[in-house]
Amino acid sequence: MPTRRIHGGVGALSGGTVAAVRVSNAVVPQFAAETIGGVIGGWIGGVLPDVLEPATSPNHRQFAHSMLAGGALTLARVAEGQARRRASANAVANRALLLPVGSRERGDAELAAMAWRLAAGILIGFVVGYASHLALDACTSRGLPLIGRAGDDPA
């Protein structure tokens, strides 16, 4: 059974990779912010199922480890959410261009734009990291439940 370290590492790697591919045409600061966000979101998504349902026994896989949970995340309209965050980043960055170079207001706006980019990366990274956790667990002898194993004795 994969450990938290493995789930977090695979989640971070896969989340960062997908985030980087999705923003590969961006300029370096935007690329870096979204890729770093993907790594952070991937790590969180990679370990979250075991945070919600700790591996205290081989029967710990309930809803958070189910195919239904994975499918729900896939349908969560992540691309739209990521596009909204990028649009917010672009709007704030465009506003920053109208402010005096070196001013505190411009620096704050540029920082806010990077924060929106980071959030876009975290969003896609989280979903990919969560999916990586489910994929790793699906390869074990216990596999994944379709909906959850209600009624199984967790002890």
Judged against a pLDDT cut of 70, whether residue 92 lies above it is answered with: yes
pLDDT at 148: 66
Say if residue 115 is exposed, middle or buried (CB neighbours under 10 Å; 0-12, 13-18, 19+): middle
- What pTM, to 2 d.p., does this model score? 0.84
Mean pLDDT of 109-125: 96
Judged against a pLDDT cut of 60, whether residue 21 lies above it is answered with: yes
CA distance 13 to 7: 10
Q: What is the pLDDT of residues 46-73, one digit of tens each?
A: 999 888 888 766 666 777 777 777 777 7
Which pLDDT band, with edges at 50, 70 and 90, does 154 fall under? Answer: very low
15 and 124 in contact (C-beta within 8 Å)? Answer: yes
Q: Where are the domains of the chain?
A: 4-50+58-138
